[in-house]
Amino acid sequence: MNRPWQLLLHHFSEALALAHGAVRPERPALLVFMFHALFEDAAAMSRHELDPQQRITTAIFAQFVAHFVAHGYQFVTPADVLRGLNPAGKYALLTFDDGYFNNQLALPVLRRYGVPATFFISSHHVLAGQAFWWDVVYRARQRQPLPPAAQLAEHEHLKGMQHAEIDQYLLANFGLEALRPVGDLDRPFTPAELQAFACEPEVTLGNHTAHHAILTNYAPAAVAHELAACQQHLAQLAGPTPRAVAYPNGNTSAAVVAAAGAAGLHLGVTVEPGKNYLPFARHNVDTLQLKRFLLWGDRDVERQCRLFRADFNLKEQLRSWRRG
């Protein structure tokens, strides 16, 4: 979005959505939200130990949860969704991707508000204690430093690879210690920590593949293996076999979604933003391809929450009018 008219349309569209939301009651829907790392505070972020991604501190997370509690949202687990939601209800599903140990910082907030969350784990990272590649790259490129455009290009290049190629790239470019986390902030849960975490009543675990595999880069047999291995690891580590999957980087295809279903997964979340309107059948919502919103810690949180809840989307309207 770099052309002036696109920016103008974007601002106009947001203003309309907020105005519409202020006067019209919300339509029944399931809103799914995606988080990654959680920071204790801004000081932890400024240590540059990991890619700050959406810059979410526990205080921002609490503010966000409080907003949806105050607006009458019921927080649900994947099992609640799969049992069937009240077609007149407003629901929120909180999700955290990857399996960072820092996600345990969410627990006091979840307890305070009495709400559940689902944590999608890349199980090999937990078993091997391996750092996530984007953090390895971030640390090295911060030190170097590499211009932002070149960093973006490197990220896109790596996102086109399979996990073994990514590991080779990290070792070749950043040294033999590259796969090792630098501290508590960037490391995944240990198996014992994950086991204890999964026992908390607020916590549900989900599949994020064994190796954080961007599944559209893999042949069908390897896709099946990545999903099945994670199912097996999590079942062994932490109890019930997951029923939900978050596709790494949001990459799906018809074949990937079918493979998830075949692996015993019934709920899948993407990274396409949007509300999942109820009832699902009437609005063609596929529970294996739910839309998911992303919150940014460096933007106005209340405004973002109101936009997530808004039902009027000018850009969507224009698109559907164009389609006739």
Q: Is 98 in the site for Zn ion (CB under 5 A)?
A: yes
Q: What is the C-alpha to C-alpha distance for residues 125 and 130, in angstroms, rounded to an integer?
A: 5
What is the nearest approach in angstroms of Zn ion to the Cβ of residue 36?
7
What is the nearest approach in angstroms of Zn ion to the Cβ of residue 238?
18
Q: Which of residues 242-261 bind Zn ion (CB under 5 A)?
A: 248
CA atoms within 13 A on the CB side of 293: 21
State which residue, 49 or 98, has the beta carbon closest to Zn ion: 98
Q: What is the C-alpha to C-alpha distance for residues 107 and 127, in angstroms, rounded to an integer?
A: 22
Q: Which of residues 35-64 bind Zn ion (CB under 5 A)?
A: none
Q: What is the C-alpha to C-alpha distance for residues 56 and 38, in angstroms, rounded to an integer?
A: 6
State which residue, 80 or 167, has the beta carbon closest to Zn ion: 167
53: Cβ–Cβ under 8 A, 6 or more apart, which residues? Answer: 36, 37
What is the nearest approach in angstroms of Zn ion to the Cβ of residue 109?
21
State which residue, 137 or 310, has the beta carbon closest to Zn ion: 137
State which residue, 181 or 248, has the beta carbon closest to Zn ion: 248
State which residue, 90 or 211, has the beta carbon closest to Zn ion: 211
Q: Which residue's CB atom is positioned nearest to Zn ion? A: 97
CB 57 within 8 A of CB 193: no
State which residue, 73 or 134, has the beta carbon closest to Zn ion: 134
What is the nearest approach in angstroms of Zn ion to the Cβ of residue 122?
7
- By CB under 5 A, which span of 51-59, 75-83, 91-99, 181-189 interacts with Zn ion? 91-99
What is the nearest approach in angstroms of Zn ion to the Cβ of residue 134?
9
DSSP at 176: T
Q: Is 97 in the site for Zn ion (CB under 5 A)?
A: yes
Q: What is the C-alpha to C-alpha distance for residues 61 and 106, in angstroms, rounded to an integer?
A: 8
Q: How many helices (H) and strands (E) does the chain have?
A: 14, 9
Q: What is the C-alpha to C-alpha distance for residues 145 and 224, in angstroms, rounded to an integer?
A: 38
The 3 state secondary structure assigned to 80-139 is: HHHHCCCCCCEEEEEEEEECEHHHHHHHHHHHHHCCCEEEEECHHHHHHCCCCHHHHHHH
What is the nearest approach in angstroms of Zn ion to the Cβ of residue 212?
6
Q: Which of residues 117-156 bind Zn ion (CB under 5 A)?
A: none
State which residue, 52 or 248, has the beta carbon closest to Zn ion: 248
**Closest listed residue to residue 151, CA positions, set 142, 161, 162:** 142
Q: Is 226 in the site for Zn ion (CB under 5 A)?
A: no
Q: Which of residues 262-291 bind Zn ion (CB under 5 A)?
A: none
Binding residues vs Zn ion (CB under 5 A): 97-98, 248
